[in-house]
Every structure is written in structure tokens, then in C-alpha cells.
Amino acid sequence: MAAALRYFGQAFGAKKPYPDKYDMLMDIATEEFSHLEIVGATIQMLLTGINGDLKDAAENSEIMHLLNGKAAKENMIHQGMVAPQFLVGSAGGPCYTNSQGVPWSAAYINGDVQGELTSDLRSDMGAETRAKMVYEYLLQFTPDPYVKETLRFLMTREVAHYQMFEAALSTITPNFPMGTLQSDPKYSNLYFNMSNGNEIRGPWNQGESSELGETWQYIEDPVKHILETNSLLDQKSDGSNRTEKNIKKMNDQLGKQKKEFIAEAAPIGAMQWNDALSSADESGGLKNKQGSSLKGKNNHNGARSKSAK
């Protein structure tokens, strides 16, 4: 549910200027809805018969005989209505709740639709990672071979989705840092050793940083460093070729390129949501207003995106 609505929402922001990513996000969102169908069908099959049994049990239970008073009976029903167990037990079908009975809420995905595709796609890779692990853990909770088969299928599709998002991210360049503004080289490669005793070094705090290619600056004694640098206000840039001057230039350049890229994809004026469906050529292929194929258009966008590097 969260996955389907996350990708569904992200697709709208991606449509211009990335119609190719819109297509992918909508495809995966639709597949996630089909997973909801698979999960719903599985729950329904597992709970088949429970509905009738519960009603029967309620009518014949001793407690019903004890609750002769109308108010007592209504109170009992109220208790049942607000208890998560009632939702699970009474309907005999799937509910939009977690296993504790807490209802699904858009709060689960708010923040995952940022309108910045490189951020959205990274969030999606995290979501697919978590979903994969949930299925992996769930597999340990059932001995049922059919349920196992279902869970394994769903788990596998998360692995597939992860790679789709990763590949989509790699087609947008530059994609780091996410967004438009560059980071401040005074602070982008500082590592603060905040614990005593374990001075563990690794690629996260020594050598070159993975994306910016700067040299990590290991601050062995952060307290001393803070005192020496006037609480970092006097921090000097180290281990980076980037300067305030060329960062400002990069910010301006990238901002301008992105603005042009978006403006070209979504010019002011009358709009049509789906150019590709506006006309079909005689051979049956879909073409946009300019006559270029949707595939060609995507490539064009990709090329422009790359030129922004």
C-alpha cells in the first residue's frame, strides 16, 4: 500500500521533465497494487471459515448469556469495535492496519514524494530494501509451503524493483549531491571521532569520499577542534578542490540548466498531460506533437540531463 502510493505520487512530479521515469514509476506502482491483491488474497484464504466460526462462537459463548443487560451488551460491542482484535477477527478479511491494529496512514509515506527525483529514487531504494527484509523475516513465521512460495515471489520482486530504481537514478546526471545546491567544502569531508577508545578507520573516514572525491579529514579530538576553530566558525576548507567561488558558479550553472530543462519540458501555455497519446502515426507507433517518438524524446531528455554534468 505504502509502496504503491509512494511511487504513484512520485510519478506525477516526475512526468515533466522525465516522462520515462513517470512510465517506470507508474508501472512499478501498478505492480505494487497487484502485490496488495496477492497479500489480500493470501489473508482471505488463510482466514477462510473464520468469519462464520466467530459469529457462531459469539452467539453461543457463555459471556453472551451473562450480558443480559442492554447497556452491558452495547458496552461489550463498543469494546470490540475499538479493539484491533475485532477488526482482524470479525471481518475475516484484510484490514488496512499493521499487526498491532494501527490503521494505515499517509504519514508512512509523507516526505517520500519530494519532487526531486534523485531524492525520491534514493528513498525508493531504501523502501525496497526494507520491504525485502520484511518478507525475509515473514518467511520465518510460516511453515506453509504455499505461503512461503508467495512470500518468496514478493521478496524477489523487491529485489527487482531496487535495481530498477538504482538504474533510473544512474540515468540522471549529475545526481549527487541531490538537488541543485552544492555542499560547503569546509564541512563536507569532516569526520568527528565522538567516542573514546575505538578509533576505527574505514572508507567512511579515511581516503577519498565516495561521491565528491574529497579527502576525509579525521578530527581525532572534536572538543579540541571546536575550541581551536571558534566552534567551526573559523573552519578552513581542507581536502577539497572546491572553493566558494567555483561552488557559486556551479550552483548558478546547475540552477540555470535545470530551469531550462524543466521549462522546455513544460512550457507555459495550454497543456496536454499525455503527448504520446495525442496522435498515433499511420504505422501505429505513438508520436508526440513534434513528431519525434516518445523513446527519442526520452533520449533527448537524457542527453540534456547528462550535459548538465
What minimum distance in Å lies between the beta carbon of 34 and Fe ion? 11
What minimum distance in Å lies between the beta carbon of 127 and Fe ion? 7
Identity of the residue, 161 or 297, whose beta carbon is nearer to Fe ion in the bound complex: 161
Identity of the residue, 158 or 214, whose beta carbon is nearer to Fe ion in the bound complex: 158
Identity of the residue, 113 or 212, whose beta carbon is nearer to Fe ion in the bound complex: 113
Q: How far is Cα 66 from Cα 280, in angstroms, rounded to an integer? A: 72
Q: How far is Cα 96 from Cα 102, in angstroms, rounded to an integer? A: 8
- In the shown chain, the binding pattern of residues 2 to 41 toward Fe ion, with x for contact by CB under 5 A and - for none, equals -x--------------------------------------
Q: How many residues bind Fe ion (CB under 5 A)?
A: 3
Q: Is 161 in the site for Fe ion (CB under 5 A)?
A: yes
Which residues contact residue 108 at a Cβ distance below 8 angstroms, ignoring those fewer than 6 apart? 2
Amino acid at 189: N
What minimum distance in Å lies between the beta carbon of 126 and Fe ion? 12
User: 6 exposed, middle or buried (CB, 10 Å; 0-12, 13-18, 19+)?
Assistant: buried
Contacts 24+ apart (CB under 8 A), 95-98: 96/1
Q: Is 124 in the site for Fe ion (CB under 5 A)?
A: no
The stretch near Fe ion (CB under 5 A) out of 1-9, 45-53, 107-115, 233-241 is 1-9
For residues 264 and 258, the answer to whether their CB atoms sit within 8 Å is no
Terminal-residue alpha carbon distance, the chain:
36
What minimum distance in Å lies between the beta carbon of 3 and Fe ion? 5
What minimum distance in Å lies between the beta carbon of 132 and Fe ion? 8
Identity of the residue, 30 or 75, whose beta carbon is nearer to Fe ion in the bound complex: 30
What minimum distance in Å lies between the beta carbon of 4 and Fe ion? 9
Q: How far is Cα 123 from Cα 126, in angstroms, rounded to an integer? A: 5
Q: How far is Cα 104 from Cα 59, in angstroms, rounded to an integer? A: 31
What minimum distance in Å lies between the beta carbon of 213 and Fe ion? 32
For residues 108 and 114, the answer to whether their CB atoms sit within 8 Å is no
Residue 226, CB-side half-sphere exposure with 13 Å CA sphere? 8
Of residues 193 through 252, those in contact with Fe ion by CB under 5 A are none
- In the shown chain, the binding pattern of residues 130 to 159 toward Fe ion, with x for contact by CB under 5 A and - for none, equals ----------------------------x-
Identity of the residue, 87 or 138, whose beta carbon is nearer to Fe ion in the bound complex: 138
Chain position whose Cβ is nearest to Fe ion: 161
Q: How far is Cα 143 from Cα 202, in angstroms, rounded to an integer? A: 41
Identity of the residue, 6 or 16, whose beta carbon is nearer to Fe ion in the bound complex: 6
Identity of the residue, 120 or 158, whose beta carbon is nearer to Fe ion in the bound complex: 158
Torsion from C-alpha of 263, 269, 272, 273, nearest 10 degrees: 40
Amino acid at 79: Q
- The footprint of Fe ion (CB under 5 A) covers 3, 158, 161
